[in-house]
Amino acid sequence: MAGLSGAVLIGGASSRMGRDKAAIELGGVALATRLARLLAALCDEVLLVGGAAPPDAPGRAIADPDGPRCALRGLVAALEAARGERVLVVATDLPLVTAVLLRGIAGPSEADAVVPRPGPKPQPLCAVYRRAPALAAARDRLARGLLPVRGLLDVLRVEWVEGERLRALDPDASALVNVNTPDDLARAEALLAAGCAPGVRAQE
């Protein structure tokens, strides 16, 4: 997709997992590598933001800026480094994200952000951001210590992907499963083995 950069956020603390999530394998592939390969097939460039990426993950390594260790800091780093007008951001703890979902949120839009909302809470770490307005707002919030990424959406023009539109892109409701704990990883392995993440095996 022309003008679209991709960014995998891999700089999380992984405190609940107890080890670096980026290097944890799902279906024999490190989580960060899985997502980087997916973005490489869709985007003009891939950024590996924060932390240490597995050696087989395609992309350009980007360090987080100074500041508190949080997802907003990684988002700022991704937006600063991206060459594209729009940036497709995916957190490394969303390893079942599919190409179908990403293509669905990365289509033409005039919004500042295109964000899936599978329930009451949106998923701002699997979203497309228009670089200029999102970077200005994210920098401002980081400087003021307003760290939750969901709060960023309150100051941007957001196109929500939800309801029937989201179900068409993610019929099994598995693409946005978070992997933050060993139990979450076991669940993701079970979903993958059951074929509930179409397109994921095709990436391997």
Give the number of domains in the chain. Answer: 1
**CATH code (residue 75):** 3.90.550.10
| Residue 200: both structure tokens together | 């994921």
Q: Is the dihedral of CA 179, 181, 187, 190 positive or negative?
A: positive
Range with the largest mean pLDDT of 15-29, 61-75, 119-133, 184-198: 119-133
Q: Where are the beta strands (DSSP E) in 37-187?
A: 45-49, 60-62, 86-91, 113-116, 126-130, 158-161
The reported pLDDT for the residue numbered 187 is 87
Cα separation, 112 vs 130, whole angstroms:
5
- How open is the CA angle 126-2-76, to the nearest 5 degrees? 40
Q: Please state the pTM of the whole predicted model.
A: 0.91
Which residue range(s) make up the domain with 186?
A: 4-203
pLDDT score recorded for residue 202: 39
- For residue range 141-152, list pLDDT tens digits in order: 999 999 999 999
Is the confidence at residue 190, as pLDDT, over 70?
Answer: yes
